[in-house]
Amino acid sequence: MTFTVSDLTVQYGETVVIRRLDFVVAPGEIVALLGASGSGKSSIVRALCGLQPATGAIAWNGNDLARLPTHRRGIGLMFQDQALFGHLDVAGNVAFGLKMHVLGAHERKIQVAQLLATVGLEGFEARAIATLSGGEQQRVALARALAPVPDVLLLDEPFGALDRTLRERLLIEVGELLRRNGVTTVIVTHDHDEAFSLADRVAVLHDGQIEQMATPTTLWQQPKSVAVCEQLGFVEAVDGEVQRTPGGSEVITPWGVLPHQSAMTNGPVRVVLRPDALAADEQGALQVDIQRVRPHANQFQATVQLGTGPRLMMPVPASTRPGDTLRCSVRPDAVLCYLVGTSLPPAFKPPASENDQ
């Protein structure tokens, strides 16, 4: 009962948007495809549904879906802009898929009521789509996509247009809903927070291919390349030089000489600092200039200048003020080095994780 995509290629004329994509989704698993805007994410979704010409194999439980027309594939899709039918009310939208599956009017009514209750919209049956708020429309779209009980549910940037508070609430609710119902799901997004919150595994897209597919934890700890780091929102890469020292290894960067866990030999590298690299530490070897302080989540975060490198972020005590200087230390495992001109992984090994591909 796995959803298997192999060799999927999408091209517009001569331009190849998606190149020989392979991935497998286990039953009940939630997989996120994470990619920048214009990376062809929506093309994948449309190709999987049969709305976009493509080559390759798409199979559910070993049965080839690629040969089937869209309406026989059993794949549900929640559209990026929801695409709710303006000429139908809420019940009409949710019941649409049920009606296509020749369900009687009475059963339809019961199921619509149940689905609306599931997404927290009890009694919304007769409401016109135009009268709904953004969040309500999102929920109706989800209920509509879930109604025909698809084998696989695709969510295309499901929370893109929502404000932050609503988005965070819906992320939790939708995640719970999908897991409770064991829905095999592929979610496509540009937002790593969204991918990490919802997915069991995340595939990072780069240049029309999967650059890395792993659990959120592994992806965070061991991003395979600079491109993956960029996609995860890490600070920009700088040039550096690895030096072996008697105690291990360090890397010379515009930020200064940073400790580094690696078996790399001496030579030039690209260096990325993970957001958790810096920590305020009175015994620390480095000194940062505080430029700006703001409350962030449950801590205070400062924009700091370290050496001559790009500005960094770090958690600071609440008493910190702009203009202060602060001593800090660097986590060696958060200093990520990549060989120049390749996407070779950092040469240190973090604790092994499961489900990695």
Partner 1 sequence: MDSRVEHDRQRVGAYLRPRIQASAVAIVAIALGYFFVWPLLAIIGKGLVPEGHLHLGVLLDVVRDNRLRHVIAFTTFQASVSALLVLVVGMPLAFVLERQRPHGAALVRTLVFIPFALPTVVVGAAFAAWFGGNGPGASLHLMHTTTIIVIAHVYFNIAVVVRIVGSRWRLVDPNVHAAARVLGANRVRAFVHSTLPALAPAIVGATAIVWLFCVTSFGVIVTLGGGSKATLETEIFRLTTQELDLRRAGALLVVQLVAVAATLVVAARIQRIHALTSIHASMAAPPAGGSGLRRAVRAILLATVGVVMLLPIAIIVQRAIADGGAGFGFLRDDSVLGWRPIDSVATSLQTAAWSTGFALTFGVVASVAVVRRWPGARIVSLMSALPLGISAVSIGFGFLIALDRPIDLRQSWVLVPIAQATVALPFVLRTVIPVLQSIQPAWRDAAAVLGASPTRVVRSIDVAIASSAIATAAAFAFVISLGEFGATSFLARAATPTMPIAIVRLLGRPGTLPVEGAYALATVMIGLIAAVATLMGLATRRTRVGLR
Residues that bind partner 1 (CB under 8 A): 6-7, 46-47, 49-57, 59, 64, 66-67, 69-72, 75-77, 79, 81, 83-89, 91-92, 95-97, 99-101, 144-145, 147-148
286-299 core/surface letters (b: 16 or more CB in 10 A; e: else): bebebeebeeeeee
Q: Which is nearer to partner 1, 161 or 252 (CB)?
A: 161
Q: Which is nearer to partner 1, 71 or 349 (CB)?
A: 71
Shortest approach of partner 1 to residue 59 CB, angstroms? Answer: 8
Q: Which is nearer to partner 1, 74 or 345 (CB)?
A: 74
Shortest approach of partner 1 to residue 299 CB, angstroms? Answer: 40
Shortest approach of partner 1 to residue 208 CB, angstroms? Answer: 17
Residue 144 · residue 118 · CB < 8 Å: no
| Secondary structure of 169-226 in HEC code, one letter for each residue | HHHHHHHHHHHHCCCEEEEEECCHHHHHHHCCEEEEEECCEEEEEECHHHHHHCCCCH
Residue 150 · residue 182 · CB < 8 Å: no
Q: At what angle do helices 105-118 and 90-100 cross, to 10 degrees?
A: 120
Shortest approach of partner 1 to residue 118 CB, angstroms? Answer: 17
CA distance 167 to 181: 21
Shortest approach of partner 1 to residue 328 CB, angstroms? Answer: 49
Q: Which is nearer to partner 1, 33 or 334 (CB)?
A: 33
> Among residues 331, 314, 312, 212, which one has the least CA distance to residue 261?
331
Residue 181 · residue 150 · CB < 8 Å: no
Shortest approach of partner 1 to residue 281 CB, angstroms? Answer: 52
**Cα–Cα distance list, 189 to 77, 98, 160, 231 (Å):** 14, 28, 8, 11
Residue 99 · residue 136 · CB < 8 Å: no
Q: Which is nearer to partner 1, 118 or 217 (CB)?
A: 118
Residue 180 · residue 172 · CB < 8 Å: no
Q: Which neighbouring-strand residues pair with 301? A: 294, 315
Q: Which is nearer to partner 1, 101 or 169 (CB)?
A: 101
Q: Which is nearer to partner 1, 51 or 340 (CB)?
A: 51
Shortest approach of partner 1 to residue 93 CB, angstroms? Answer: 9
Q: Which is nearer to partner 1, 102 or 318 (CB)?
A: 102
Shortest approach of partner 1 to residue 83 CB, angstroms? Answer: 4
Tell me the H-state helices in the chain. 41-49, 90-100, 105-118, 134-146, 164-180, 192-198, 216-221, 226-231
Shortest approach of partner 1 to residue 200 CB, angstroms? Answer: 23
Q: Which is nearer to partner 1, 108 or 270 (CB)?
A: 108
**Cα–Cα distance list, 293 to 120, 235, 296, 301, 323 (Å):** 39, 18, 9, 6, 10
